[in-house]
Chains A and B, each alone.
Chain A
Amino acid sequence: MAASDLSRRAFLARIGVLGASVTLLPQCAGPDATGTELSALGLNLIVDLLRPVLGQLARDTLNGFVAFSVPGQDAYSRAQGTPRGEPGGIEAGGTDFLIQNLDRFLPFPDEIVRPAASALVTALRDLPLPIAGNLIFGLLGPSVVTIRLVDDAVRFILENDSNAPLSLPVALLLNYVATVVNPLSLHGAFVSPFARLSFADKARAMAQLETSQSQLVALIDGQVPQPLKASVSGLLQFLGGALHEFAAFGSFGESPRFDPRTRSLTGRPVGWQLTGFLPDNQTGDGWDDLLGYYQDRREVTDA
């Protein structure tokens, strides 16, 4: 196996794509599909097969993040070691909120998403791997042919797709930093390495994104041409904060229980239950909260 193939294999494993492909791609292509048969399908069909796989990977990864932000009764919260007796962000619909907002409305132009994604697939593989290589080589399932196909298809999707969902590069980035902070996350439950981390390791992974001096930020910047160089690293720092803010906002907001047709709620939002907001579930046009005026003063003047 050539060194470049090992490098690709390692990289695809670290962003979660290799594991997801091993688990999910055969289900899509048929249980007996081999690398050689897949190659006969051509890149376009592989891309089509891979899209839902990557979608599931993104969802699994962001489930891991939402549970990190607002843990609940879900499997991701248990896996990270912070099980709760009451519902959390996942039950509140926080994952759907993140995906919808990242994919449909975050107005990052394609021209920034694509170089950022491209930097991901070309630059991150050059980061020193602080782990024993055999952890990656342990993923012996897919053939070299399959790895090349998957690699080509991922790159195609990230670099050429005019509607590239932003949730995907975000998820790949989280998975990448997950394997940096804990190489053992390459294996285990879930599809996403990030989702496999302990709570403390997830925090360490987020520190990689948020710290301006991190090796990750510097390396990605190094791969992006001017005049976008500082823009990509700046947006990464923006993203490092925004993920926390959006996951929390979505988890405590009304959106999963909101019917835009009637502009009313279909049930009590989880975040309202958790915080004791509006116990009668009415969004009210007023409160009996008037206590009067401080020192009974209703007017002030300079005169």
Chain B
Amino acid sequence: MRDVIVIGAGGGGPVVAKELAQRGLSVLLLEAGARHGNPRAEWTHFENDANNPLTGFLRFGPADRNKPGWFRELPQNSFLFQVSGVGGTTQHYFGNCPRAYPGVFAGYDRPDAGAYDTAHRFPFRYDDLVPYYEWVEATLPVQTAAMGRKERTFFDGCETLGIPVQTTKTTLGDSFRPQQNAILQPGGTAGLTRDVSRLAFPQATGCTQCGYCLQGCMEPIRAPRNLFAKRSTDNSYVPMALTADAWSPHGKPVTLIADAFVTRILTETRGGELVATGVTWRVGATGEVHTETAQVVVMAGGTTESPRLWLNSGLPNPNDWVGRGYTDHYFDLMVGLFDKDTDSSKGPASAARAEFPGRGGMENIGLGPALQAFAMQLSDSGSRGFYTNGRGFTGPWDGPAGRPIGPELKDALMNGVNRLLNILIITDDDVEAQNRVLLSALPGDEHGPVPKVVFKPRNRTARTLANREFLVRRATDLLRGAGAKKVFRLDWAPLILHVQSTMRMGQSADDSVLDDTAEARWVKRLFIADNSALANALGGPNPTLTSQALATRTAEKIFQRYFGGDPWVGRETPVVSTADAVTQAVIARGL
């Protein structure tokens, strides 16, 4: 029997695993996808090799790339951007670490309190989470991002908007700023040369501005795994979890098993209460089935997978909120074409953002040519100039919203992938019961019934729709201010990438699955530590940091409630994941 089994080595699971391993608990960490233990031997920087959703090494599928990916039903024009493997979606994330807006938490009483999703606030105060933010920001670590040319272009536009520069971590008003990124900033020759012979560690440290955040970070060359620039969990929390005995006085290293897809949560009734007792998983390579018991089980397979596993395990769902309330920041994309270089495909994928609390936010995103083309084809407004699919909104951008096709697409891209600027619109969207994960009626796979992800983008709340329309106009102003000669609005169909709140914690037991400690309301000793546990869409900020802060808090609650331990956040000094003791252990153990 283990003390704790954690399901999923993505953005949240390794946080719980590391924190509890540091306390000396016996932790088993199970990951459905590949280990990706040697990126230089397994990965490339190529977009199709990495990001093809069916075949790429960062797809959602089995460790064996010769096998098809895992099917999920999407009954609408949309794209669900899941990633399996150790690190989960942090493997391809941009490392952006804004904190949630304070207005989405209980007890918020500033004048703009009514501007947020007031029906679905977090069941505790923003100030309660701040120590956990600080703990994670120190552990990853999170740093202020440097500028490349695309950030300079973004800031040129921001400076025309009449809003101030934010110089704090907490956002309190409309503002713009460099990202707080979970990326080690450039050191040595990094960022100063393209000569590969001068870009190996330790001559280069931190971000080399390579432009491949989306393809997984393995820079600088020959750096120990925990010193790769981007602090995806495969480079930060997982190395710490696997070496906990080396850097923590009472630490016990986590056991990590990849290619292990959990298919069932085991339970029993104790004293009239349903209690989690362990899990069953299937080994991808062999089909073998294993079962192991634990005192506590933590679900962290992701916002789509956690409700699926819950339902496939036959766990209770008395208020019918399991899988409901899916938020996705109802993204949109604005693309500005320039007659000057922006170097959009270079540097960290996003290092600049603007905040509009109560509305959401926006950030620059740099892409290679294939994903740029992909991004400019996803639309709910049909094909510009030919059909609108009932939408095709007009506004300050050029022409109707929609995908440019054929000659127009080609001309836009031939203007140069480094002479454009993308702005991702990150809407503060409301929790709505209609947007949800349920089990598909289609035949299941080897892991049971598959999830069906339903979004009704045209039927979002008036606040959500208005927020998106506000933001696309501000983004257009920004692009014009930066000198864009032509501005496209794509009106994206749902790109389900920032995923939150399908197993949400909440103030009310009527519309939430978790209590205020992230323990399941109806199954004791069962916690959730991925984005599905978030109460809402955070007001728009990217979710990973908040999910990791919450996972840290959840680990502390587990340790206190079921292992008789004391809390540590605010009392101890966190060990940074780049600490020399971690590095030496990573090297010695070949991690």
Contacts and interface: CB of A to CB of B under 8 A. Distances in A.
19 contacts: A104-B68, A105-B55, A108-B71, A204-B386, A206-B387, A210-B387, A211-B382, A244-B405, A265-B46, A283-B45, A286-B208, A286-B220, A287-B347, A288-B193, A289-B191, A290-B191, A291-B148, A297-B167, A302-B169
In order of increasing CB-CB distance, the 7 nearest A-B pairs are: A234-B75, A290-B191, A286-B208, A253-B370, A203-B386, A227-B441, A248-B373
Contact of A248 (B77, B374, B452): B374
B208 A263 contact: no
A245 B375 CA distance: 8
B74 A238 contact: yes
Contacts of B376: 248
A183 B407 CA distance: 25
A68 B403 CA distance: 13
Interface stretch (A37-45, A49-57, A273-281): A273-281
Contacts, number: 280
Contact of A285 (B69, B192, B199, B369): B199
B493 interface: yes
B148 A210 contact: no
A290 B206 CA distance: 12
B248 interface: no
Nearest to B378: A245
B371 interface: yes
Interface of A: 68-71, 82, 84, 86, 88, 97, 101, 104-109, 111-112, 199-200, 203-204, 206-207, 210-211, 213, 227-228, 230-231, 233-235, 237-238, 240-242, 244-245, 247-255, 258, 260, 263, 265, 271-272, 274-277, 282-295, 297-302
B194 A84 contact: no
Interface string B34-75: 000000000011111100101100000100000011110111
A2 to B, nearest CB: 37
Given A251-B373, A277-B345, A286 B168 contact: no
Interface string B179-218: 0100001100011111010010000100011111000000
A285 B147 contact: no
A55 to B, nearest CB: 20
Nearest to A274: B414
A275 B369 contact: yes
A253 B48 contact: yes
B146 interface: yes
B409 A70 contact: yes
A88 B374 CA distance: 15
A166 B180 CA distance: 44
Given A200-B386, A300-B168, 13 more contacts: A69-B406, A84-B410, A104-B68, A105-B68, A234-B73, A241-B378, A244-B378, A248-B374, A251-B373, A275-B416, A286-B208, A298-B185, A300-B144
Contacts of B70: 107
Interface stretch (B149-157, B249-257, B469-477, B557-565): B149-157
Contacts of A258: 46, 48-49
B148 A289 contact: yes
B542 interface: no
B461 interface: no
B111 interface: no
Interface string B468-501: 0000000000000000000000000100000000
Contact of B178 (A238, A249, A294): A294
A105 B481 CA distance: 44
Nearest to B493: A241
Contact of B387 (A97, A105, A211): A211
Interface of B: 44-49, 52, 54-55, 61, 68-71, 73-79, 130, 143-144, 146-149, 151-152, 155, 165-170, 177-178, 180, 185-186, 190-194, 196, 199, 204, 208-212, 219-221, 343, 345-347, 352, 368-374, 376-379, 382-383, 386-387, 389-390, 403, 405-407, 409-410, 413-414, 416-419, 440-443, 445, 452, 493
B127 to A, nearest CB: 11
Nearest to A257: B46
Contacts of B55: 101, 105
A249 B75 contact: no
A255 B48 contact: yes
Contacts of B445: 109
Interface of B is mostly: loop
A231 B113 CA distance: 40
A249 B193 contact: no
Given A211-B390, A271-B373, A293 B178 contact: yes
B185, B193, B409 interface centre (most CB from chain A within 10 Å): B409
Nearest to A290: B191
B389 A284 contact: no
Contacts of A293: 144, 146-147, 178
Contacts of A265: 46
B222 to A, nearest CB: 10
Contacts of A242: 79
Given A276-B418, A284-B194, A292-B147, A111 B443 contact: yes
Contact of B346 (A71, A105, A289, A294): A289
A104, A210, A241, A302 interface centre (most CB from chain B within 10 Å): A241
A247 B178 CA distance: 35
B77 A288 contact: no
Contacts of B149: 289, 291
A234 B196 CA distance: 47
Nearest to B412: A275
Contacts of B403: 244
Contact of A249 (B73, B177, B370): B370
